[in-house]
C-alpha cells in the first residue's frame, strides 16, 4: 500500500501522534529497527541545497538497513528535458521510494500521481513537513506539545510557517503567527486550519511585542528562502520582527527559542539569542534524524507491512 508524505495534510492527527511516539522509541532503541529497510533502495533527489535534510535522511536510511541513493536533477535526464511523469514511472521500476527537495509542490504531486512508490517531501517552496515533524517531536520530548503552550512564529509566512499552521491545527493546538500584514499566511492555509474544527485557533498578530507576551516558545526562520533574491523593501518591513533580547523581555523567562536553520544572525535573529541558554535549535536539528526515521519506519513497516 502506497503512502506519500507531501504535506502534513496527508496524515491524520492519530497518525502524526503515532509517528511522534515511534520516533521517540527509535531514538531510545535504534537497534530494534535496524533492519526495517533491509533490501530497500530509496532515492534522495534534491534540486536545492541541503544539510540537515540530506544528512538526516541519508544517515537514517542507512541506520534502518536501507540504501540511500543521492541524486540531483542535473545529473539525471531531467537535466536534458525528460519529463517528471516519465521519471516518476522509471523510478518506480528501480527503487522503493523517493525523497524530493525541490521548488514546486506540483513536482511532488506529479511524482506521487504517476509513480507507484512512496514520495516524501524533503522541502518545497510551499511546505516543509519533515522539518515541522521534527519541531513538534522536539516540543513533545520537552513536554510542551499541549493545548496550554503559547507558540509564536515570527517573520515571513514561508513554507515552514505553512507547515507549522497545518501541524498545529491537526493536533488541535493554538498557534500565533506574527508578521507584517503584507506577509501574512495564504488564505488557503488559514482556511485549511479552520476546517479542522477541533477548537484550535490561528492568531495573526502584526505587533511583535503583543505577539510574544507570555510566550512559551518563539520560532523564527530566514526572511529570504532559497531561490529568493534579497529585497530591500521586504528587509525594511521585517526588521522590527527580529528575535532579540529586547523582544524576549515580554515572553516567559524560560521561553524556548526555535529556528529550523540555517540562520542569518543579525537579520531574523541575533547571535545572542540563537546561541543563548534558551535556544533549542540544536535539539531541533538532532530530532530531524529521529523524526525522519519514525516516518520511514511508519511508511515501510506499518503501512507497507515489512517485517524487521
Annotation says 4 is catalytic: no
Which residue in the list 52, 259, 288, 290 is annotated as catalytic? 288
Residue showing cell 500500500: 1
Which residue in the list 156, 221, 242, 292 is annotated as catalytic? 221
Annotation says 86 is catalytic: no
Residues 6 or more apart whose CB falls under 8 angstroms from that of 303 comprise 1, 3
Which residue in the list 4, 54, 63, 131 is annotated as catalytic? 131
Neighbours of 244 (CB within 10 A): 16
Annotation says 288 is catalytic: yes
Angle subtended by helix axes 84-94 and 105-114, to nearest 10: 50
Annotation says 260 is catalytic: yes
Annotation says 131 is catalytic: yes
Separation in Å, CA 80 to CA 87, 108, 115, 207: 12, 19, 20, 48
Annotation says 221 is catalytic: yes
Contact 218, 241 (CB under 8 A): no
Which residue in the list 130, 178, 179, 260 is annotated as catalytic? 260
Which residue in the list 47, 63, 96, 101 is annotated as catalytic? 101
Which residue in the list 52, 54, 128, 259 is annotated as catalytic? 128
Separation in Å, CA 50 to CA 4, 44, 54, 55, 263: 21, 11, 6, 8, 13
List residues with catalytic annotation: 101, 128, 131, 221, 260, 288
Amino acid at each position: 500500500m502506497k503512502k506519500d508524505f507531501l504535506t502534513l495534510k496527508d496524515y491524520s492527527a492519530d497518525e502524526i501522534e503515532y509517528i511522534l511516539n515511534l520516533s521517540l522509541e527509535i531514538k531510545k532503541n535504534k537497534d530494534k529497527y535496524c533492519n526495517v529497510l533491509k533490501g530497500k533502495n530509496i532515492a534522495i533527489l534534491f534540486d536545492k541545497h541541503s544539510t540537515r535534510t540530506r544528512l538526516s535522511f541519508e544517515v537514517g536510511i542507512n541506520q534502518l538497513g536501507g540504501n540511500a541513493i543521492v541524486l540531483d536533477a542535473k545529473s539525471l535526464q531531467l537535466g536534458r528535458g525528460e519529463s517528471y511523469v516519465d521519471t516518476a514511472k522509471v523510478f518506480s521500476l528501480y527503487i522503493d521510494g523517493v525523497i524530493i527537495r525541490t521548488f514546486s509542490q506540483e513536482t511532488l504531486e506529479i511524482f506521487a500521481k504517476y509513480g507507484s512508490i512512496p514520495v516524501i517531501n524533503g522541502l518545497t517552496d510551499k511546505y516543509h513537513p519533515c522539518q515541522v515533524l521534527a519541531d513538534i517531536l522536539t516540543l513533545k520530548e520537552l513536554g510542551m506539545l499541549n493545548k496550554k503552550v503559547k507558540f509564536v512564529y515570527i517573520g515571513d509566512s514561508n513554507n515552514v510557517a505553512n507547515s507549522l499552521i497545518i501541524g498545529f491545527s491537526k493536533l488541535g493546538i493554538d498557534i500565533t503567527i506574527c508578521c507584517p500584514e503584507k506577509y501574512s499566511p495564504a488564505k488557503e492555509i488559514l482556511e485549511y486550519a479552520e476546517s479542522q474544527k477541533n477548537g484550535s485557533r490561528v492568531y495573526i498578530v502584526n505587533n511583535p511585542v503583543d505577539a510574544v507576551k507570555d510566550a512559551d516558545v518563539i520560532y523564527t526562520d530566514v526572511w529570504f528562502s532559497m531561490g529568493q533574491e534579497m529585497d530591500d523593501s521586504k528587509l525594511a518591513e521585517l526588521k522590527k520582527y527580529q528575535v532579540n533580547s529586547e523582544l524576549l523581555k515580554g515572553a516567559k523567562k524560560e521561553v524556548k527559542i526555535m529556528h529550523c536553520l540555517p540562520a542569518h544572525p543579525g537579520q531574523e535573529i541575533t547571535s545572542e539569542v540563537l546561541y543563548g541558554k534558551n535556544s533549542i535549535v540544536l535539539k531541533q536539528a538532532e530530532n530531524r534524524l529521529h523524526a525522519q526515521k519514525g516516518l520511514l519506519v511508519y511508511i515501510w513497516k506499518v503501512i507497507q507491512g515489512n517485517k524487521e
